[in-house]
Amino acid sequence: MKDFIASALQDIDMRKARRAAVWARVASAAGTFAAAVDPAMAQTLKQAGVSIFTAIYGVVGVIGAIACLVTLLNWITGNWLGREDPKKLFFQALFGTGLAFGVVAIIQFIKDMVGGSSSGVSNL
């Protein structure tokens, strides 16, 4: 079986294969662009973007909540994580979670201002 596959692969002209792959990429990019120009597809892409940001908020919230809970339990139960200052670790987890929420909110704000149908300044 190995010999059959090896002989079949040797018969393939790599230049033609690469050229076909390039044309396939160009065709798929053109098809995606043509579909994105359609208003229904654009609305679907916008809804997909909104659901992605909702998922990111959920992931940030869950990870942040777990980190804060673990560090709070570490602080209360006597520093079983082995860090120098459990209170500092807890506040670092709180700050990191807040920072992550802030970054996602800033990115979403910029996306909403740029992606609107009118000028971003008038949306403020």
In terms of residue numbers, what domain contains 84? 39-124
pLDDT tens readout for residues 76-113: 988 888 867 888 989 999 999 999 999 888 888 887 78
Please give the radius of gyration of the chain, using alpha carbons only, rounded to the nearest integer.
25
Domain tally, the chain? 2
Kindly indicate the confidence band of residue 119, based on its pLDDT and cuts at 50, 70 and 90: very low
Q: Do residue 49 and residue 110 come from a single domain?
A: yes
* Total-model pTM: 0.53
CA angle 105, 72, 81 (to 5 degrees): 110
Which two structure tokens, joined as six digits, stand for 26? 């160009």
Tell me, what's the pLDDT at 99? 92
Q: Do residue 61 and residue 112 come from a single domain?
A: yes
pLDDT tens readout for residues 5-63: 666 666 667 777 788 888 888 888 877 777 666 676 667 777 777 788 888 888 888 99
Q: Is the pLDDT of residue 120 over 60?
A: no
Provide φ and ψ at 87, rounded to 5°.
-65, -40
Tell me, what's the pLDDT at 10? 67
Question: Cα separation of 96 and 27, whole Å?
Answer: 43
Tell me, what's the pLDDT at 69? 92
Q: Do residue 87 and residue 102 come from a single domain?
A: yes
Contact 81, 74 (CB under 8 A): yes
DSSP 94: H
Answer positive or negative: Cα dihedral of 31, 36, 41, 47: positive
Q: Do residue 24 and residue 66 come from a single domain?
A: no
Tell me, what's the pLDDT at 1? 63
Tell me, what's the pLDDT at 94? 92
**Interacting residues of 67 by C-beta distance below 8 A, sequence separation 6+:** 93, 96, 97
